[in-house]
Every structure is written in structure tokens, then in C-alpha cells.
Amino acid sequence: MARIQRRKLLASCLCITATVFLLVTLQVVVELGKFERKKFKNSNLRDAHAEMEREPTHLYPFLEKEALTLNRKGKLETESYPIMLWWSPLTGETGRLGQCGADACFFTINRTFLHHHMTKAFLFYGTDFNIDSLPLPRKAHHDWALFHEESPKNNYKLFHEPVIALFNYTATFSRHSHLPLTTQYLEGIEVLKSLQYLVPLKSKNSLRKRLAPLVYVQSDCDPPSDRDSYVRELMTYIEVDSYGECLRNKDLPQQLKNPASMDADGFYRIIAQYKFILAFENAICDDYITEKLWRPLKLGVVPVYYGSPSIADWLPSNRSAILVSEFSHPRELATYIRQLDHDDRLYEAYIEWKLKGEISNQRLLTALRERKWGVQDINQDNYVDAFECMVCNKVWENIRLREKLSHRDDFREDAWLREGKGVDYNWKEESSVRCLPPPSPGCSLSEMKKQRIGSAGWHNSSDKYNW
């Protein structure tokens, strides 16, 4: 009996020993695995960095700059790249090294770079521009650049010359901007020529039994252009189907009532059934042209246009839109539209360019061909990226120019900065955005001077403006 108990005890001890040994072995295996994985990862990182350093620099210049940043343990190469500081959260980027052709700049919204010696330019978004919150005092070597694609309704201050003249570079809807955004709502020539949504005139004439000749779609009521007052008067002389919140007398299908649906296929199909559409902008400014004009031209509907006084410079042909400005009263406009509605030959003269796929306006063709950005095109930069690179290239242009001039015996840094750093800034008169009626600026010139907004080099002649 005692022998049996000893055997049981021995067996128990062996089992316990085996279990402990197994647990220890497993732990050793796990730790060895962790060590090997860490070793492999570190080896890969070293190999990757070495590979980046061996990569031909002419093939991947941006990757080389990224590697430089990595090799400094994430520390910004502030001594090598100019800093472009967004004075707005528009991009949301706390820090990005951007390649702009042969140049590179560091783009950020981080205001801790305000006083950094490599900060060369401040980028402003017009919607957020506030005269009470600016990076002051403005230093002579700081460039200011404005990006603003909207109309004066969005920020009235920006559409007065003493304010727009604060900026060395601009990107606005004006053709006179350093980066013009006049065609920002037009994807390209092909969408204008496209017949995808065109409804044959015979079908449109048949649809006239239940549709008005004119359609109006607007939910932003009573804007500065006062378009609703004109349309209300026009409605007393001719039938208008009005969708949207403004002067509504007809409802869209429920699934198309969301403003986001205005680029939906279903919405396009409804609008394309009409002969004419009221294309009225929310502000009357030279070169301010929105989708209100381009959409009907894409759909094969004749726009009755009220907006940019310079619109004739941008139409695909000299007979592609009816201009409200050519009629002294809504009654006259209504009479003319009825005449076209009843005469197919006269009506077809306004869509002949589309039927033939012929765009005769060379200014429009050139603007679309030469612009530095694209609309809904993954193969091109968007206009914000193009704006950033435009400023980056200008800053580098000044850096190179200064380097070249600094070797001259008569070079003076203070004079170079004061006189505009070698760049021609005599563009203020042309670049001022002309709108009717002129909006109130919301600030005075004396207030701007008191706050030392701008520098003397740009504003010595501003006394002539009396608001």
C-alpha cells in the first residue's frame, strides 16, 4: 500500500515538473519570436532608409526631401524650406512638405510658426478673412496671398481696392488675379459639347403642353443682386416654372429636393426638358460666373443670364445665351422669349453651336487650356493646391532673385524689400474686383492704417480713397 502511494506521489511530481518545463519553454519561444520580429522590423527600416538614400534624386526629388525629414527624427527642415502659413483652417494640414515643380515649401496652419525666420508667406482664405485677426505687425519680408473663390456676398471687405491691395498675390474669380478662377465651375470643353442630356426641339415643343417655356430654380432668396424681384416682375408677363424655395410654384420629386441633388442625373433630366432657364447670379461682378450659366449650356437649355457684365467674354459663342442687360424692362424680355418659343428657326440659332460642337470663343478655349488646375479631374491639381504652389514658386523666385542681386556692390536689403522684392506689384487697378452695386467695406482706411495693416511700400498712394 505504501509503495502504491509513493508511486502516485512520484507521478504527481513528474506531472508538475513537466507542466512547469512546458510553460517555461513556451515563454522562451514567445520572447525569441518578439526579438526576431523587432530585429527584422529594424532591419527593414534601415534598409528602406538606405534604399531611399540610394534612389536617384532626379527620379524622386520629393521622396528625398521626405527622407531628410525622417532622418532628423521627424524634425522639420526649417532651414531649407520656406514656410507657407495658412491664416485659416481651410486645409486642416498641421504640416506638409509640398513639391511645386522644382520648388518645395512647407505648408501648415500651425500659428506657432508666426515668428519663425523661415516663414515667408501668409495664405488667407477670403471667407475667414477678418480685419481684426491678422498676423501683425506685418514684416517687410512677409508676402500675403488671398484665395477667395466666392462673390462679395461672402465677404464684402475684400472687394474694395485698399483691402485687395494688401495682398501680393490673389486667386479670385477675376481674370486679373495672379491665379484666375473664372472658369472654376466648368469641367472642360467636352462637357459643353456633349449631347448627353440634349432633348430634341420637337420633344421640347411637345412638352410645352405641360411645362412653362422658362424654368427658375433657386433656394438662396433675396441676395445682393435682387434677382427675385426681377423674376417676380417677369412672371407677370410670361409663365415661369419655379422650383426651390424662392417664388416656388412647382415641386421637384422628393428625392431631388436636397440642394445636393442639383448635380444629380434626375435633376438634369428635368431641367433639360425646358427651352429656357433663368440663370441669375447672386452678385453682379465682372467675371463672377457660376454653375448657373454652365449647367444649362451643358444640358442644351438656353440660359437667360443676369450676372457678370463681362459675360460676353466667356460665352461659347456670340449667340448661346440671352442677356437680361440687353432689355430695358422685363416686359421686353418676355416678349422676346415668346418670339423664340414660337419660332423654331430663331430658337435653334441659340443652340446651333452645341449641335455642331463648335466653340468659337478663343478666350474661353485659351483659359481652359492654360489654367493650372482642374475641376473634378484626378489627373490635375485642384485650385487650392495650384494656389499654394503659385505662392511657393513666387517666394522661391524672390529668394533666387535676392541671391543673385546680393552679390552686387550697390545691393541694399532694405531698399529691395521696400520696393517690392523685384516683383512687379503694379496690378492693383486692374485686379480690383468690380461689382454692382459696390458693397459696403465694413472698415475704414484710417482704421486699417491705425492697425498698421500692410506696409508703406504698398500703401503710400492709398490716401486718395475716401469711403
Structural domain contains residue 409:
no
Structural domain contains residue 384:
no
The pairing of strands 435-436 and 284-285 is antiparallel
Q: Residue 258 is part of a domain; what is its CATH number?
A: 3.40.50.11660
Structural domain contains residue 379:
no
**pTM for this one?**
0.73
CA–CA separation, 301 and 199 (whole Å): 9
Structural domain contains residue 261:
yes
pLDDT at 149: 92
- The answer on pLDDT for 180 being more than 60 is yes
Tell how far CA 346 is from the center of its chain. Answer: 39
Structural domain contains residue 407:
no
Structural domain contains residue 194:
yes
Give me the chain's average pLDDT, please: 78
Same domain, 19 and 107: no
Same domain, 294 and 418: no
Q: Return the C-alpha cell found at 437.
A: 452695386
pLDDT at 307: 92
Domain that holds residue 208: 189-370
CA–CA separation, 102 and 99 (whole Å): 7
**Given 26, 54, 82, which residue is the final one in a domain?**
54
Same domain, 352 and 220: yes
Same domain, 317 and 211: yes
**Given 306, 338, 370, which residue is the final one in a domain?**
370
Find, among 358, 346, 359, the residue nearest to 201 by Cα.
Answer: 346
More confident residue, 85 or 439: 85
Same domain, 300 and 245: yes
Same domain, 135 and 238: no
Residue 47: C-alpha distances to residues 50, 62, 65 (Å):
5, 19, 17
Same domain, 319 and 457: no
Same domain, 213 and 167: no
Q: Write out pLDDT tens, residues 82-120.
A: 999 999 999 999 899 999 999 999 999 999 999 999 999
Structural domain contains residue 146:
yes
pLDDT at 337: 98
Structural domain contains residue 16:
yes
- Number of domain units in the chain: 3
User: Could you give the angle at which helices 2-54 and 61-71 cross, rounded to 10 degrees?
Assistant: 130
More confident residue, 378 or 194: 194
- The answer on pLDDT for 79 being more than 80 is no
Based on the number of CB atoms within 10 Å of its own CB, is 427 exposed (0-12), middle (13-18) or buried (19 or more)?
middle
Same domain, 131 and 196: no
Same domain, 121 and 221: no
Residue 19's pLDDT band (cuts 50, 70, 90): low
The pairing of strands 119-125 and 169-171 is unpaired
CA–CA separation, 188 and 400 (whole Å): 35
Same domain, 197 and 343: yes
- The answer on pLDDT for 145 being more than 80 is yes
Q: Write out pLDDT tens, residues 316-350.
A: 999 999 999 999 999 999 999 999 999 999 999 99
**Given 370, 391, 423, which residue is the final one in a domain?**
370
Same domain, 226 and 127: no
